[in-house]
């Protein structure tokens, strides 16, 4: 029977009058302090900065609010009252002692929830509070009791009365009065912080320390349940025939709570016991038949089945109904079937942006990391703690990854990192060193887990291949870029990185020996005040000018001051010894102001700011004010060896950002070559003003005195260091280029401008460039694989003779709900790994996903990103994420996009292993391409497929020798998929369409430079995992085109598919077309980089399908570059080499680059960009499978595919 409450109070009875039916509970003096009957006016939806909230980071504090009643553990929002109202009741006649079930609405700020209680629950609350009050008066001499008594001190002001009349004696007509009495009792209890925060009060109200956490979601049902130790059911009987019956195991109380998209339970100490995320397999049942226990409740998802016990069947049904309602409404995004059978839905109006190459991506990551306030999630296949995210290195270790994470950890940000735990015999990425190096920085707030284990029964063959960075669950980075060595690169794709410090030889008015300090200050007056150097720098400059003139005497200024006395020189040298060899000069502010026509505007990759511009400027100013990191403060320079420092009484080698170069070249030609070492695009474009001219007096003087030159270089380093310390300038572009671009007119970026600090150095007569790739970051994977990663600043290869391998990659960032989806995937992986490896280690907490109700995007991010529809995809399975159903949504999306493409498909990928009807390869990407091209041929459609991949796999060794087995076996599978074996894509297409070139073609990337005054070339390693279709759809992620990445049950991967909603006018196949802003901007940027197109070339990139571009520009330029490289360098791989014998003979011939360098330089002027044809006939008469007895042959085939 149900009744409706009469809202009018019975004024004939005072609820405060004394009556024998009431029992008195004394209220302390401070009962009504800091309370208000109304909610705070600021407690409204919107920016959390305007809210009275409990911050999200509080979820990581292990509170004891479930087990104790201490005031400091209050789960309520400070300053907000709790309103308690009994709104209705249900009459249950079969409950003789407690027939009335009261329906109660509780409100706390913006949170509102409903609970149901009987009279016995009110009575139990009252009894527990009376016992608590009695304990307060007990003179127990413990700190806890003293604190409790101190909090309860005060005179009685008001009495709270509890109705004692038994419920069966209360007539129905008196129920409204009884409801008011109970309501008033609880309202008065809630006005006292002492009683309000008591464990029994919280239990009565269904409140925990997670109830009102901002961004954790709405207040759902909470309460105690019983969970059997271990949480697993025990089947009885032969073959489990009595599987529905369980033993009388030991049950413990746990606090369970329901939030928007998950169910969790807490242990007695308030720490999380487990988190069950809502997914497509999420179910909840109750009852003896369904659960096997009386009053049982079963909750299951793809990862776990949790069976708990409630006190009554009514409680179990309440739990079941509430969880079902929540999962079908707030959790619907994850419990429904989503496109591509993905775990996350399509997120409309998502703001996203792409990045081409690591420089832009790393810069954006560094910016986002600085914005972190609560949490940072990172997972990588490989992570190098000492990697620099911003280059050139102008601020010491400030932008080194481990220093950034330490800085944020010290600010209270919780950092969680999952690293792939490699098989050490097969890989040398040394994840244990990465973990120790990171955790050592801040053990409390930096948590690192490595997965998987390789014990018997573990995973040996598969890897966690995802690359994820998530900031506060609102900014997420994905793509192909690990935060590790070798990944940072920009559009220039340099082969060499020597680092140097030079002095200009061109005479200027500053060269006059009569230039005084005051005159120099006047000269610098045009420089912004914050960039002007102090007096000591001016003295050093004058000293350098004196040395430049080759004079041993001090320079006397016009005003008679001695510009450089012996005392000043000693002071200068002493200061030099105390300065680190790190050169912190801000030698670059890479604001690339390319102004393309409207149809060629880059919508990303050049600049992106996180959040509001003004706020970022203030944030950056604040960051720049911190002149030293904690790491730097703990450093002590060892004056006996400037390459070493003492850290915590241990000697550690420090990075040297400027190389100790040899004497200047003796001819202008050699000088030009030396400067062009760091820029592969230009060989003869070095300005004369930056070279050493041996004909000039100053240069001759320098060459005649090695000691003077050595002093000069030391002083130059000191000057540049000091200039940077007093003149830091924020970099304005994510696509940060280097000082070498300033010295050489770059084809890829002709409009580079000098920063203020660059101009200051020039006016002082100094030019220089820092090393960009420090220590093991300078790498060539084919020449030498990684080793000794615990010594990060020691070079892996000799950079004087071996070029680095440039790295081409793609990344993306998104904001809002899509970022939350990426975070949700990370949380699922972290929780699975934690429960598997550190279940009882409270130092490694379980993570909780944020609610999706508040995901507004800051204006600054909107202005520098593109609004689109975005969906997060993944390859996940039981071993990688603990889910019983394998997800391969990336593969499903690839095939769907290929099948539905109308005009073109552009693919960049590290591998192309996809073969139809092959027993060892089952992904259907090649089949999808074949069917789409055949369809275009039959319909007489113009359809193009571009595929760009590495010219060779990046494994250490020399192809054609015993060391090159790994390279050859991967090449074997690539060639078997593309053009060999009888069932390859091109062979099948040739039988159907004839000339395959008109539909599909394969390419690689290559560049050249001068190293040690000798021309050299190297392939650009394509590590992208990207697909663009029809200028409106893009897939960016970590998944390669092979079974390892695509099937889901092997390597773990993540990706996003972006579909444009904002369009721009364009042309497709000669007709007007609305191209997507995101997709077309990315495609055009890639085309410009690969083809070396500048705004002065006037090449139309709008139509990627038309013959005028595809044949006359793309294919023609690739063929020209390929032919030139082969003639000049005799490159390997090469279409003219069909056997290993031919390879050996081919390599014996001295290339033109060595025999006739002048002619080679002349021919290389024909090379533009990096695009070359893929040598599909290379070694086509050889069997590239591993020889019997080699370690590669012993590995299972599926390891390579």
Residue 788: band (very low, low, confident or very high) from pLDDT cuts 50, 70, 90: confident
Block residue for tokens 């309103």: 83
The yes-or-no verdict on residue 978 having pLDDT over 90 is yes
Pick the closest to residue 711 from 724, 697, 696, 701 (CA basis).
701
634 vs 645: CA distance, rounded Å:
10
Q: Provide mean pLDDT across the span 397-420.
A: 96
* 943 and 903 Cβ atoms separated by less than 8 Å: yes
Q: How many CB atoms lie within 10 A of CB 84?
A: 22
Higher-pLDDT residue of 588, 136: 136
757 vs 70: CA distance, rounded Å:
57
Q: Token pair of 198, please?
A: 């008591």
How much is the pLDDT for 618?
Answer: 44
How much is the pLDDT for 149?
Answer: 65
Q: Token pair of 312, please?
A: 């009554």
389 vs 368: CA distance, rounded Å:
11
410 vs 402: CA distance, rounded Å:
12
232 vs 265: CA distance, rounded Å:
15
Half-sphere exposure of 1132 (CA within 13 A, CB side): 20
How much is the pLDDT for 230?
Answer: 64
How much is the pLDDT for 233?
Answer: 47
The yes-or-no verdict on residue 1017 having pLDDT over 90 is yes
How much is the pLDDT for 610?
Answer: 38
598-607 tens-digit pLDDT: 343 334 433 3
Pick the closest to residue 1101 from 1115, 1079, 1080 (CA basis).
1080
Residue 47: band (very low, low, confident or very high) from pLDDT cuts 50, 70, 90: very low
55 vs 472: CA distance, rounded Å:
12
DSSP state of 874: E
How much is the pLDDT for 527?
Answer: 41
677-689 tens-digit pLDDT: 233 333 333 333 3
How much is the pLDDT for 194?
Answer: 79
Angle, CA of 1184, 1185 and 1187, to the nearest 5°: 110
DSSP state of 339: G
Q: Please, what is the average pLDDT of the chain?
A: 76
Q: Is 477 exposed, middle or buried (0-12, 13-18, 19+ CB in 10 A)?
A: buried
Read off the pTM.
Answer: 0.77
Q: Quote the percentage of the chain above a pLDDT of 90.
A: 52
Block residue for tokens 């004692």: 164
58 vs 316: CA distance, rounded Å:
30
φ, ψ for residue 863, nearest 5 deg: -70, -25
Half-sphere exposure of 453 (CA within 13 A, CB side): 9
φ, ψ for residue 255, nearest 5 deg: -100, 115
How much is the pLDDT for 271?
Answer: 87
Q: How many CB atoms lie within 10 A of CB 619?
A: 16
Residue 394: band (very low, low, confident or very high) from pLDDT cuts 50, 70, 90: confident
Q: Is 1061 exposed, middle or buried (0-12, 13-18, 19+ CB in 10 A)?
A: middle
**Concatenated DSSP letters of 207-232:** --TTTTBTTS-S---EEEEEEETTS-
Give the C-alpha distances (Å, rounded to integers) separating 440 from 384, 400, 631, 634, 777.
14, 15, 12, 14, 22
How much is the pLDDT for 543?
Answer: 37
How much is the pLDDT for 649?
Answer: 40
Higher-pLDDT residue of 817, 682: 817
Higher-pLDDT residue of 551, 1178: 1178
1100-1136 tens-digit pLDDT: 999 999 999 999 999 999 999 999 999 999 999 999 9
The yes-or-no verdict on residue 428 having pLDDT over 80 is yes
Higher-pLDDT residue of 68, 223: 223
923 vs 916: CA distance, rounded Å:
8
Pick the closest to residue 468 from 459, 478, 458 (CA basis).
478
Pick the closest to residue 83 from 58, 53, 115 (CA basis).
115
How much is the pLDDT for 752?
Answer: 32
* 766 and 503 Cβ atoms separated by less than 8 Å: yes
Residue 716: band (very low, low, confident or very high) from pLDDT cuts 50, 70, 90: low
φ, ψ for residue 257, nearest 5 deg: -140, 150
Bridge-based pairing of strands 446-451 and 414-420 is parallel
Pick the closest to residue 1006 from 1087, 947, 946, 951 (CA basis).
951
- Mean pLDDT: which of 59-63, 504-508, 631-635 is highest? 59-63
Higher-pLDDT residue of 709, 191: 191
512-540 tens-digit pLDDT: 344 444 444 444 444 444 344 444 333 33
Q: Provide mean pLDDT across the span 175-192.
A: 90
605-629 tens-digit pLDDT: 333 333 344 444 444 344 334 433 3
Higher-pLDDT residue of 166, 897: 897
Q: Token pair of 587, please?
A: 């030698």
Q: Which residues contact 742 (CB under 8 A, 6 or more apart)?
A: 587, 588, 752, 754, 758
Residue 762: band (very low, low, confident or very high) from pLDDT cuts 50, 70, 90: low
How much is the pLDDT for 11?
Answer: 29
* 350 and 867 Cβ atoms separated by less than 8 Å: yes
Report helix angle 613-625 to 358-371, nearest 10.
Answer: 80
How much is the pLDDT for 559?
Answer: 38
The region that residue 641 occupies, defined by phi over 0 for left and psi between -120 and 50 for alpha, beta otherwise, is beta
Q: What is the dihedral of CA 12, 17, 22, 25, to 10 degrees?
A: 140
Residue 769: band (very low, low, confident or very high) from pLDDT cuts 50, 70, 90: low
């Amino acid at each position: 029977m149900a009744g409706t409450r009469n809202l009018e109070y019975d004024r004939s009875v005072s609820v405060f009058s004394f009556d024998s039916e009431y029992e008195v509970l004394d209220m302390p003096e401070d009962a009504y302090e800091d309370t208000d009957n109304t909610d705070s006016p600021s407690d409204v939806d919107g920016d959390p900065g305007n809210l009275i909230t409990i911050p999200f980071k509080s979820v990581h504090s292990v509170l004891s609010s479930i087990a104790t009643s201490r005031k400091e553990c209050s789960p309520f929002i400070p300053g907000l009252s709790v309103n308690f109202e009994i709104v209705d009741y249900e009459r249950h006649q079969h409950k003789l002692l407690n027939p009335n079930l009261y329906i109660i609405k509780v409100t706390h700020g913006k949170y509102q929830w409903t609970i149901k209680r009987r009279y016995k629950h009110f009575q139990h609350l009252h009894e527990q509070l009376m016992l608590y009050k009695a304990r307060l008066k007990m003179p127990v001499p413990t700190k806890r009791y003293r604190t409790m008594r101190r909090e309860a001190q005060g005179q009685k002001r008001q009495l709270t009365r509890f109705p004692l009349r038994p419920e069966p004696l209360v007539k129905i007509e008196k129920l409204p009065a009884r409801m008011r009495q109970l309501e008033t009792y609880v309202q008065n209890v809630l006005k006292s912080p002492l009683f309000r925060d008591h464990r029994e009060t919280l239990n009565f109200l269904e409140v925990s320390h997670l109830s009102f956490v901002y961004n954790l979601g709405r207040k759902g049902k909470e309460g105690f349940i019983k969970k059997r130790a271990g949480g697993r059911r025990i089947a009885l009987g032969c073959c489990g025939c009595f599987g529905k019956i369980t033993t009388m195991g030991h049950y413990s109380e746990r606090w369970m709570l329901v939030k928007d998209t998950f169910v969790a339970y807490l242990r007695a100490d308030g720490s999380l016991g487990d988190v069950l995320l809502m997914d497509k397999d999420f179910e909840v049942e109750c009852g003896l038949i369904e659960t096997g226990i009386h009053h049982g409740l079963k909750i299951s998802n793809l990862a776990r089945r949790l069976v708990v016990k409630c006190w009554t069947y009514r409680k179990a049904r309440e739990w079941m109904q509430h969880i079902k309602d929540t999962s079908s409404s707030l959790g619907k995004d994850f419990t429904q079937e989503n496109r591509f059978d993905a775990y996350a839905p399509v997120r409309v109006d998502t703001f996203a942006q792409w990045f081409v190459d690591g420089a832009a991506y790393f810069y954006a990551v560094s910016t986002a990391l600085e914005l972190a306030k609560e949490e940072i999630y990172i997972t990588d296949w490989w992570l190098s703690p000492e990697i620099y995210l911003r280059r050139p290195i102008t601020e010491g270790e400030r932008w080194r990854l481990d220093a950034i994470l330490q800085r944020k950890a010290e600010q209270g940000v919780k950092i969680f990192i999952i690293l792939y735990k490699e098989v050490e015999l097969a890989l040398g990425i040394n994840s244990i060193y990465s973990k120790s190096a990171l955790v050592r920085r801040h053990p409390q707030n930096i948590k690192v887990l490595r997965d998987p284990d390789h014990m018997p029964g573990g995973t040996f063959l598969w890897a966690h291949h995802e690359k994820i960075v998530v900031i506060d669950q609102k900014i997420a980075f994905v793509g192909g870029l690990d935060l590790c060595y070798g990944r940072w690169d920009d559009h220039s794709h340099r082969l060499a990185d020597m680092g140097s410090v030079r002095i200009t030889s061109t005479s200027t008015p500053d060269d006059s020996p009569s230039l005084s300090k005051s005159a120099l200050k006047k000269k610098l007056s045009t420089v912004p005040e914050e960039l002007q150097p102090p007096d000591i720098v001016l003295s050093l400059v004058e000293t350098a000018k004196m040395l430049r003139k080759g004079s041993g005497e001090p320079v006397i200024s016009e005003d008679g001051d001695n510009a450089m006395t012996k005392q000043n020189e000693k002071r200068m040298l002493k200061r030099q010894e105390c300065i680190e060899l790190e050169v912190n000069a801000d030698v670059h502010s890479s604001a690339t102001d390319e102004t393309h026509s409207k149809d060629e505007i880059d919508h990303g990759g050049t600049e992106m700011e996180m959040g509001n511009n003004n706020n970022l400027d203030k944030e950056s100013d604040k960051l720049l004010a911190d002149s030293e990191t904690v790491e730097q403060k703990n450093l002590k320079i060892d004056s006996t060896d400037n390459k070493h420092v003492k850290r915590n009484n241990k000697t550690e080698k420090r990075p040297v950002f400027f190389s100790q170069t040899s004497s200047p070249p003796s001819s202008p030609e050699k000088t030009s070559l030396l400067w062009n070492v760091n820029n592969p695009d230009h060989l003869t474009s070095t300005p004369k003003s930056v070279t050493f001219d041996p004909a000039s007096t100053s240069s001759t003087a320098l060459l005649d005195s090695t000691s003077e030159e050595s002093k000069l270089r030391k002083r130059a380093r000191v000057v540049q260091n000091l200039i940077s310390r007093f003149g830091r300038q924020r970099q304005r572009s994510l696509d940060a280029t280097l000082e070498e671009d300033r010295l050489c007119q770059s084809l890829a970026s002709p409009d580079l401008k000098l920063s203020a600090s660059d101009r200051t150095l020039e006016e002082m007569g100094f030019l220089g460039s820092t090393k960009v790739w420090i220590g093991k970051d300078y790498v060539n994977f084919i020449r030498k694989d990684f080793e000794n990663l615990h010594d990060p600043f020691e070079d892996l290869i000799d950079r004087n003779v071996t070029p680095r391998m440039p790295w081409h990659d793609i990344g993306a960032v998104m904001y809002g709900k899509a970022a939350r989806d990426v975070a949700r995937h990370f949380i699922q992986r972290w929780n699975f790994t934690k429960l598997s490896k550190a279940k009882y280690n409270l130092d490694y907490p379980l993570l909780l996903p944020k609610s999706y109700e508040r995901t507004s995007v800051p204006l600054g991010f909107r202005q520098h990103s593109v609004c689109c529809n975005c969906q997060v995809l993944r390859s996940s399975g039981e071993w990688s994420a603990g889910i019983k159903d394998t997800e391969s949504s990336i593969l499903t999306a690839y095939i769907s996009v290929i099948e539905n493409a109308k005009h073109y498909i552009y693919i960049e990928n590290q591998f192309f292993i996809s073969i139809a009807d092959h027993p060892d390869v089952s992904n259907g990407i090649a089949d999808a391409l074949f069917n789409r091209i055949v369809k275009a041929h039959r319909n007489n459609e113009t359809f193009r497929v571009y595929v760009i991949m590495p010219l060779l796999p990046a494994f250490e060794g020399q192809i054609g020798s015993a060391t090159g087995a790994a390279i050859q076996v991967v090449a074997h599978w690539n060639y078997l998929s593309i053009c060999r074996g009888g069932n390859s894509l091109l062979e099948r297409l040739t039988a159907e369409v004839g000339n395959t070139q008109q539909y599909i073609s394969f390419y690689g990337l290559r560049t050249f430079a001068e190293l040690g005054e000798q021309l050299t070339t190297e392939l650009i390693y394509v590590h992208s995992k990207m697909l663009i279709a029809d200028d409106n759809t893009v897939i960016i992620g970590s998944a390669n085109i092979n079974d390892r990445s695509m099937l889901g049950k092997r390597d773990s991967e993540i990706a996003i598919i972006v579909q444009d909603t904002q369009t721009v006018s364009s042309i497709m196949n000669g007709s007007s077309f609305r191209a997507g802003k995101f997709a077309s901007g990315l495609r055009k940027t890639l085309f410009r980089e690969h083809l070396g197109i500048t705004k002065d070339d006037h090449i139309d990139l709008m139509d990627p399908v038309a013959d005028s571009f595809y044949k006359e520009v793309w294919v023609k330029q690739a063929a020209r570059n390929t032919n030139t490289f082969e003639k000049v360098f005799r490159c390997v791989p090469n279409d003219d080499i069909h056997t290993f014998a031919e390879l050996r003979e081919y390599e014996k011939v001295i290339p033109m680059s060595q025999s006739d360098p002048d002619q080679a330089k002349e021919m290389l002027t024909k090379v533009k960009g990096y695009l070359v044809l893929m040598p599909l006939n290379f070694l086509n008469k050889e069997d590239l499978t591993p020889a019997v007895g080699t370690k590669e042959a012993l590995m299972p085939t599926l390891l390579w595919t």
